[in-house]
Amino acid sequence: MATIREESDYDSSRSSLTAPGSRRSWISDIGSSSSASVRSFGRGWDTPAASCRHKPHKANQAEWEAIRRVRATAGRVGLEHFRLVRRLGSGDLGNVYLCQLREPWSTGCLYAMKVVDKDALAFRKKLRRAEVEREILRTLDHPFLPTLYADFEASHYACLVMEFCPGGDLHVARQRQPGRRFSISSARFYVAETVLALEYLHMMGVVYRDLKPENVLVRGDGHIMLSDFDLSLKCDVVPRLLRHNSLPHNVSAAGGGRADAGKPSCVPPIQPVLSCLFNGVHKCQAKEGAPAKPGHDGREADSADDRTSEPGDSNPELVVEPVSARSKSFVGTHEYLAPEVISGQGHGSAVDWWTLGVFMYEMMYGRTPFKGENNEKTLVNIIKQPLAFPRVAAASGREWDEHLRAQDLMTQLLAKNPKKRLGGCTGSAEVKRHDFFKGVNWALVRSVRPPEVPKPPVVPAPAPAQKKVLMMSRKERQEPYNYNPRSDERFEYF
């Protein structure tokens, strides 16, 4: 599947809001914003990766401890500390190599090193994309997202050292399944973990925009990891509290839609934004009848307590989603593009829930729902063609019910109007309540046994020591960068 990269959301010279009628959208100045977002990222490649030194989810991992030991001994981590084993894949921004630390005590610790040529990217005006990807990777600390162990420069190359996933990607894994499609239970497992990864990204103010099986890798333990963030959009995100008046825990599969009475009502954004996060959620869950606190003018203050203390609202839900983000960039993969991206009307985090629907459809049926004879026909189908499902044979009534619930979820995720799309307003909280995920313990997904656990990779013994690092010649560096992948070429990390 070809990836579209027509417009950039970032510009190194300025930060401003989207200009009316413009094809290009810009990131707002995060440094001056009061929103809960990660620090601004226009700092260049020479900034030390201080944020890469604290990863609670990897505290006891051998690969993480090995990197920390090298950094403590040498004061830094550089290319000279690694031995490149083989190339894993190539992509639009560079190459990925399987590598090991040269220290003998680090045997068994494998890494994936992404190497990009900054001069070539600058010539193609894509250096900003690579910088944004690195800054996003620095902030991530989640079980289903990449861990950036180190990033450094070597001559005109920029290197990102990340996790190695021996299981390949889900596109290759699907080809090995009977009928080249996953069972309902396997699809539920992978989709649930993807939902949690998207939820975390949205909370960090990142719209992923490039979800597809090729970008979902399988770790050594069988759990998933999203990859490739060079098309992601970084934006502000404001926490909100949602009332749960008459809100069912799950959406009925037989209803085929969501009743207006079942929709949560949105409480105005918390001011100040982080007060509820750092002062305790219990302050936003006061019981009805609590004495009101006077404001500065002597009147009763309109606090978060007052706005959420309603009958049947003892557990208001905190939602942190960049639902108001807007970009007019035409980026993504043809078969996965959301209608609002194709029309150019501006898109936000709702595009990730559309791509989740296409992703789930391909996992279960072996193809995408709107694929046409060519890319142009595919885009027309996405805009105009109604969603349809192929006929399936169910072995039992229970299996048929599972298919109905799965189809209902995909129908709601693939609503062409982003305002009516499941997750379009309240994000992951709305998606996780669907009946398809009934019985899923979201807090313990990491403890569930995966459908498949890949075999440990076989790494050849190191060749005689050769400390010389091969670099491109000056003539090769000055030549234009041409990337023409074959139609049958598979990439594991891009």
Q: Work out the mean pLDDT of the chain and round it to a whole number.
A: 75
Q: Please, which pLDDT band fits residue 332 given cuts at 50, 70 and 90? A: confident
b/e map 303-316, b = 16+ CB within 10 Å:
bbbebbbeeebeeb
Q: What is the pLDDT of residues 378-421, one digit of tens each?
A: 999 999 999 999 988 877 888 899 999 999 999 999 999 999 99
CA 396, CA 402: separation in Å to the nearest integer? 10
Q: Worst-scoring range by mean pLDDT, 38-42, 66-70, 434-438, 449-453?
A: 38-42
Across residues 273-292, what is the average pLDDT?
36
Boundaries of CATH 3.30.200.20 in the chain?
A: 42-164+463-478
Which residues have CB under 8 Å from 101's CB, separation 6+? 66, 67, 70, 81, 82, 83, 109, 111
273, 36 in Cβ contact below 8 A?
A: yes
Residues with catalytic function = 210
Q: What is the pLDDT of residues 208-223, one digit of tens each?
A: 999 999 999 999 999 9
Q: Please, which pLDDT band fits residue 137 given cuts at 50, 70 and 90? A: very high
Name the CATH topology of 42-164+463-478.
Phosphorylase Kinase; domain 1 (3.30.200)
491: left (phi over 0), alpha (psi -120 to 50) or beta: beta
Which residues have CB under 8 Å from 113's CB, separation 6+? 82, 84, 96, 97, 98, 99, 159, 160, 161, 162
Boundaries of CATH 1.10.510.10 in the chain?
A: 170-237+322-447
Q: What is the pLDDT of residues 345-367, one digit of tens each?
A: 888 889 999 999 999 999 999 99
Domain 170-237+322-447 superfamily per CATH: Transferase(Phosphotransferase) domain 1 (1.10.510.10)
Q: ω into residue 272 within 30 of 0, thus cis? A: yes
